[in-house]
Structure formats: structure tokens, C-alpha cells
Structure 1
Amino acid sequence: MSNEISATEVVDRESFIRFLGSLRKQFENNPGIWENTKLGDFLEALEMYTEDVQGYYNNVYPGINADIPSWRIFADILKGASMYE
């Protein structure tokens, strides 16, 4: 069984912690799939993706409102920032 957890499975603090561990392991084991491997680039992408995340939800998960914070939204933003250009 895989240790990986997707952002869609993040529903509480405990699953968010598991998600963070999975995200860290992904970066350590395969940094080449990350668009933003430097902290400054990642933080910039985090800012930009947080601004744009509602558009993602409107297209993929129309029932989610990014203005209502949740553990899943935090996870989606972190995952999105890893690949946001």
C-alpha cells in the first residue's frame, strides 16, 4: 500500500499532516517533477496559485469555495504551488 495521499483526501488536520509528509517525500525522491524547487520560486507560486485557486475549483470542483478555508484547500494550494508556472 502506498504512503501517498492526494489533496482530495485531506479532510482534517491528521490527513493534512500525512499529505505534507507525502509531498515532502515526493520532493525528496523526485524533485524533477516539481516546477518550483527553490524556496523563493515556491513562495511566489504559492502566492499566485492561492490567488488563482478558485478558477481551478470552478473548472474541476465547482462546489468548493476557496474563500472558506479548509485543510483540503490548504493541501490543494501547496500541491498546486509545486507545479505552478
Structure 2
Amino acid sequence: MDTSTIHDRESFIHFVQELRNNFLQDGEQWENKTLDQFLEALAAYAEDIQGYYDNMTPSVNADIPGWKVFADMLMGASMYE
């Protein structure tokens, strides 16, 4: 799923709905399948996300919250080990 088009609340809501549908259809591919695992990964990914941005999108500052940053954290938590 692409988070590059997330720029407002409405696009974030649509993303979360797509993320949920992805889990329902292909949840076995997710690294973190339980709420406990997902929340643990979400916290860890939120801590490490600036490193991801520094390597992939240097202009993004994770300390400035935005809908895309939230979406990236949720997406990352689905696969973060």
C-alpha cells in the first residue's frame, strides 16, 4: 500500500480502511498478527521511523506529526520485526 498520497484526514481514513481489508484478506503475510504484537511493533517503529525517512525521504521530519507519518507508522507496524 502506498502512503505517498496521504495528506489529510480523509485520505488517512481511506488508508486505514485499506489496511484493515489487507489484514482480513492477507493477514498471514503480516509480521504482527495480534494486537499485542502490532502495538509493540508500532511503538518500536515510531521510535525508529526517522531513520527510515533519513534514508528514503530526507525532507520528512517525524517529529512534526502529520497524516502521512501516522500512516507510515501503521504500515510499518504491520511488518516491523
Q: How many residues align?
A: 81
Q: How much has 1:9 moved relative to structure 2?
A: 1.1
AA at the equivalent of 1:29:
Q
C-alpha RMSD of the superposition: 0.8
Paired with 1:84 and 1:28, the residues of 2 have a C-alpha distance of 18
Q: 1:30 aligns with which of 12, 18, 26?
A: 26
Paired with 1:57 and 1:23, the residues of 2 have a C-alpha distance of 21
Paired with 2:4 and 2:48, the residues of 1 have a C-alpha distance of 18
1:8 aligned counterpart, secondary structure: coil
| 2:35 is aligned with 1:6 | no
Paired with 1:61 and 1:12, the residues of 2 have a C-alpha distance of 19
List gaps (5 residues or longer) in structure 2: none
Name the counterpart of 1:78.
74
**Quick one: percent identity of the two aligned structures?**
54
2:78 aligned counterpart, secondary structure: helix
Displaced runs of 4+ in structure 1, greater than 4 A? none
TM-score, structure 2 length as denominator? 0.97
List gaps (5 residues or longer) in structure 1: none
